Amino acid sequence: MDPENSNPAEIARPYFIPPAVDFKALPAEVRAALSDVIEPAYKALVLHADSTLERLAGVTLVFLLTLEVLDQFQLGREFEEAVVGNFADSEKRAKQIGRHLRLIASKQTQLDFLFKLRNAKAKYGRYFP
């Protein structure tokens, strides 16, 4: 998708994104990530979930994906600073990278849970609401 031509009004807004967030004011790369990554995940994992439990697991996963995308954008900015020789905030950058890696681990845990839930539902479907 072309980030410059994406229509922010058409993005399905996850309920955890505050209404005051103006999609039009976000950088084009963030808008593109929201429409290309977060929105499809939100639709598939939350809006089209088969059960309440899957919807809850899905919204947690989408929330973690959203944080991951925002972290990636921020880390990209930090990378840009490092490339031009600004290493003054290397400790801050290391903390951000550590946070990002913990976020990825949390996301993987949630993804594993969602897969196990779906496998259990496929196997024991009549016992799931």
Q: Does a structural domain hold residue 42?
A: yes
In a domain, 2, yes or no: no
| 3 domain residue, yes or no | no
**Does an H or E element contain 30, and which?**
helix 28-33
31-62 per-position pLDDT tens digit = 999 999 999 999 999 999 988 889 999 999 99
Q: Which pTM value belongs to this model?
A: 0.80
What's the number of domains the chain is made of?
A: 1
Is residue 1, in this structure, part of any structural domain at all?
Answer: no
Crossing angle between the packed helical segments 90-123 and 52-83, to the nearest 10 degrees: 160
Which tens digits make up the pLDDT trace of 94-113? 888 899 999 999 999 999 99
In a domain, 83, yes or no: yes
- What is the rounded distance in angstroms from the CA atom of residue 60 to the CA atom of residue 65? 9
Kindly write down the DSSP assignment for every residue of 48-60, as one continuous string.
T-SSHHHHHHHHH
Residue numbers of the domain that contains 31: 8-121
In this structure, is residue 127 part of a structural domain? no
